Amino acid sequence: MGKLIVITAPSGAGKTTIVRHLIKTFDFLGFSISATTREKRKHEEHGKDYYFMSVDEFKKMRRRRKFLEWEEVYENQFYGTLKSEVERIWEEEKHIIFDVDVKGAKDIKKSYPDETLAIFIKPPSIEELWNRLRNRKTEDEASLKKRFKRSKREMKYEKKFDKILVNDDLTTALKEAEQMVLDFIQPKKSKTKSKSKK
């Protein structure tokens, strides 16, 4: 069994940027692709960024207990981690990295307490978090305010995780994230594979 690196944060804190960097840096990490019922954004690909599903399809898989964790983040907007993703990556003899919300991170840690490192990415301030969300320009004003309200609520859970990483200066945050992963995984003992160039 491999180990699990769970990266979580309120929206806008930069967790996806950090996860992508770690995947590029370490060949021993495999990315767990989450399932979601939200609409696909222009730059996203099914099966690469997310598994995009209908609400009915998601609920059907949930009833069949196909998810390691799931949450209804907003009304009829579900996110979840498929158990098959964990199996797929472990079959590749890699450790797993997750980009999930706060509740999902807690659920994964609960399922694999000894094998999981849960890292909470924290913005330098609430004001900066608001600026980052607004600058993404992916939502209208109403949706943006709803997301910000949820993000503020999620900030209160930071002490429930193994590590807290303040993402103020991105270069520094990336280096610190690398070190946290290395300290936990001990890559000299793990099997690594070179990535094939496409």
Give domain status of residue 124, yes or no. Answer: yes
Name the domain count of the chain: 1
Give domain status of residue 193, yes or no. Answer: no
The two tokens of residue 110 are 């609960």
Read off the pLDDT of residues 25-57 as tens digits, 9 standing for 90 and up. 999 999 999 999 999 988 899 999 999 999 999
E strands within the chain? Answer: 4-8, 29-31, 34-36, 50-52, 67-74, 77-82, 95-100, 116-122, 163-166
Give domain status of residue 97, yes or no. Answer: yes
Structural domain harbouring 91:
4-187
Give domain status of residue 194, yes or no. Answer: no
Give domain status of residue 105, yes or no. Answer: yes
Read off the pLDDT of residues 133-191 as tens digits, 9 standing for 90 and up. 777 766 677 777 777 777 777 888 888 999 999 998 999 999 999 999 999 997 454 44
The domain that holds 140 is classified in CATH as 3.40.50.300
Give domain status of residue 151, yes or no. Answer: yes
Give domain status of residue 161, yes or no. Answer: yes
Give domain status of residue 27, yes or no. Answer: yes
DSSP string computed for 144-164: HHHHHHHHHHHGGGGGGSSEE
In the 8-state DSSP scheme, what is residue 46?
B
Read off the pLDDT of residues 49-82 as tens digits, 9 standing for 90 and up. 999 999 999 999 999 999 999 999 888 999 999 9
Burial pattern 142-156, b for ≥16 Cβ within 10 A else e, equals eebeebbebbeebbe
